[in-house]
Amino acid sequence: MDLQICTELDDPLQMLPPPSGTFVDRDELIQHVGDFAVSQGYVVTIKQSKRDRVVILGCDRGGVYRNRQKHIDESSSEHSRRKKTGSRLTNCPFEAVGKKDDGLWVLTIKNGTHNHEPLKDISEHPSARRFSEREVLLIKEMTESGLKPRQILKRLRQSNPDLLSTPKHVYNVKAKLRQGNVAVRNFKSLSTQKSFVRNNYSAVTEPSWRQCNPQRVPNLIGGRFVDSQSFTSIDVLNPATQQVVSQVPLTTNEEFKAAVFSAKRAFPLWRNTPITTRQRIMFKFQELIRRDIDKLAMCITSEHGKALKDAYGDVLRGLEVVEHACGLATLQMGEFVSNVTNGVDSYSIREPLGVCAGICPFDFPAMIPLWMFPIAVTCGNTFILKPSEKDPGASVMLAELATEAGLPNGVLNIVHGTDDILNAISDDDDIKAISFVGPNAAGAYIYSRALATGKRIQSNVGAKNHAVVLPDASMDATLNALVAAGFGAAGQKCMALSTVVFVGGISL
């Protein structure tokens, strides 16, 4: 952790408004505002909502009432009306507005000021005492089993030791359940407790994008696989049958910005996650890759055209990098030299950069993405992956497995496209580093364009191989090696053999 962040943590709460941004859906926008508000010492509530168009969020002071005791000489009806008005919550001018625009939710801050002090202890706010939706369902089940409120509360605290609710709150939930209100809302105010590692992966229900025929490849933004709003798409063809395997929509500029914003928002929490926690996710990730290696290999063969044996090799070479990421703890250690000169110590520390991006070619659909994001995220960065538009299926499958392994929302994002997305990645100021693998011309272009915005760039281009045959070479071994090197992976790889150099006379 650098010095600047340490200083920020020690500063008093400033009740700053959440940063504006673009979100995939309404729930993600609300979660963003709620989480940020808690970090600043206030709690927000939904003031007004038209679910498919707009949501207005305000500050919930948590039961601070006006105290307006006035002598009333008017009629009883006027007295009743004034009494009701005087009991309303004290209004705070803070207001955040989320509107749906072109398929995405855009957050704007209408008024970012407050007229009260920050909450010193968020747990004292009434919203901290409300049950989650899961806990309400458990209360319903335990009530039907005949358990008393104190017994229910004791069992709930076994799974949530920080639960602040009392038996009275359990009684209130039971009363609502008896009235038939089974769909009890978990919060009127947004939750004040943040869940760090959220796993949205569902192994039971097939996602909607997989149910299309042909499949429409989704973006991954903020931990959710979402269909692009773009009307332009590219067909992915099976080279063996020329059938359309899937369609790749070209990610819109708004969706790209949402992906970058999601990665930027996830970075502060992810960089402060212990390296051992990040390693455990990689251990689980490599286990899941081994579990689904058959599916990955089949996907690569159907989209790329290489033989199934080559496709297995593609995955296994990438898996070696994931295994390397499992042991990154020692490689992240800095250096320290004491007394390099009188009264001077020298030390260095390794820190994550922030949002990084990877641009992949089509020749190794699994190996090259696995070169990039496992190392980057294990080091504490967040990542934007742009797979090849010719065979993106393996990258999406790997992202699903990474999510199942426990990678938090926003740490890994996927966008699709061609020149426009490459330019957007190169120009975006929030992206700090780019890793590129591909042809010479494209690599030189991205290198020069990204360098102009001060990014760190890793550009792997060219990579044609040559074979050198010596006079004492075995004929059978040489021919087998030349055929495999020149025509393996259907000849579609950057390292395909293009030149053979014979040394001395030919004695094969």
Which residues are marked as active site?
Answer: 494
Q: What's the CA gap between 423 and 450, in Å, rounded?
A: 9
- Whether 174 and 143 have beta carbons less than 8 Å apart is answered as yes
Phi and psi at residue 160, to the nearest 5°: -140, 85
Residue pair 28/259 in contact by the 8 Å Cβ criterion: no
Phi-psi region of 354 (alpha: psi -120 to 50; beta: other; left: phi over 0): left
Take residue 191 and report the two structure tokens written for it: 């939750």
Cα distances from 123 to residues 43, 185, 192, 479, in angstroms, run: 11, 19, 8, 73
Give dist(CA 391, CA 296) in Å, integer. Answer: 12
What's the CA angle centered on 197, arms 112 and 204, to 5 degrees? Answer: 120
Residue 126's CB is within 10 A of a number of other CB atoms, namely 16
Alpha-carbon distance of 181 to 185, in angstroms, equals 9
For 70-138, what is the HEC assignment? CCCCCCHHHHHHHHHHHCCECCCCCEEEEEEECCEEEEEEEECCCCCCCCCCHHHCHHHHCCCHHHHHH
Q: CB burial class (10 A; 0-12, 13-18, 19+) of residue 354?
A: middle
User: Is the Cβ–Cβ distance between 57 and 110 less than 8 Å?
Assistant: no
DSSP 500: E
Cα–Cα distances in angstroms (integers) from residue 197 to residues 18, 223, 404, in the given order: 21, 11, 11
d(CA 303, CA 9): 49
Which one-letter amino acid corresponds to residue 379? C
Nearest by Cα to 487 from 461, 371, 296, 479: 479
